[in-house]
Amino acid sequence: MRVLVTGAAGFIGFHVARALLARGDAVTGFDVVNDYYDVGLKEARLAELDRAAAATGADWAFLRADLAAAEAVAAAFAGRGPFERVIHLAAQAGVRYSLEDPVAYVRSNLLGFTHLLEACRRAETPHLTYASTSSVYGANAAMPFAEAQGVDHPLQFYAATKRANELMAHAYSHLWRLPTTGLRFFTVYGPWGRPDMAPMLFAAAILAGRPILLNNAGRHSRDFTYVDDVVEGVIRASDRIAAPDPDWDPRAPDPATSDAPFRLYNIGNNAPVELGDFVAALETALGRRALIENRPLQPGDALDTFADSSRLARAVNWRPATPVAEGVRRFADWYLAYHGATARAS
């Protein structure tokens, strides 16, 4: 298939693009490659994609452009389309940064997504799959989080923009019959991860002998989900085109389905782990002890996350299954290899 992957220089987008190339799809990557975090890491991911395409002879092209520029999005669809699938993984990410610069989230997550929806509508794209987040569950404390629950109490602006994406997608699915599937990711980790996320921050601190700043004394839990599992879920969900739910009842509406071609799914490991236990697994994998500096839970942080991924399992006959100990070991092996002798000697 011809597939557009936005955010191809990002963590999940890179892994999804590489998996699509490996199965023989013609892939167009689209990314602005901004400096929100280390541009060198993003360029290294793109170099890996170039190598993967060259090794297999896959059809791969990368467009360095901004989704907030409507003409750039239109040019991608005109030049490399028609796309049989669009997988939208570009976003201004990060809970903390949304407290500092909310306008960046409006530009990327709202304006950029609007341009993509419009392009998909005009091109009559068969299926748009896009990233949402477990953060949309916000102040909800009913565990595990399920798609049928309400998500009207976000704890930070990032989550509010991703919830807005879900609502925007439904509007386009209803008005234009554009099939859309939103995927709520739960704490994705693994090789090539973002430097602003806990695994990278913790690994760097442990190897440098610096204290880890552990919020809430590590007593809050996260449903850590290994990136390869997320990639499998993304591709399987993308392959399964969203369709109207014949059992949808407007008098008792299920928020995750519709009489429009619209779906929402959780992608989580279904096995929450306390942050302190995640640090212990990382200590084992790196062979070094961590120095811990405890601090309070930070603004915008959810106390716990726990995914009910049963809907996804029923839809695509698969569910995430990588244990945290195994995923952390793979991450640590990559981290040491990527950073080389400098990391080992720190």
Report which of 2, 16, 14, 29 is spatially closest to residue 230, judged by C-alpha positions: 16
In the block, residue with structure tokens 């929450």: 272
CA distance 138 to 153: 5
| Active site members | 158
Identify whether the C-beta of residue 91 lies closer than 8 Å to the C-beta of residue 31.
no
CA distance 26 to 287: 41
CA distance 213 to 198: 10
Report which of 213, 204, 211, 209 is spatially closest to residue 343, judged by C-alpha positions: 204
Sign of CA dihedral 9, 204, 301, 146: positive
Report which of 227, 206, 202 is spatially closest to residue 215, judged by C-alpha positions: 202
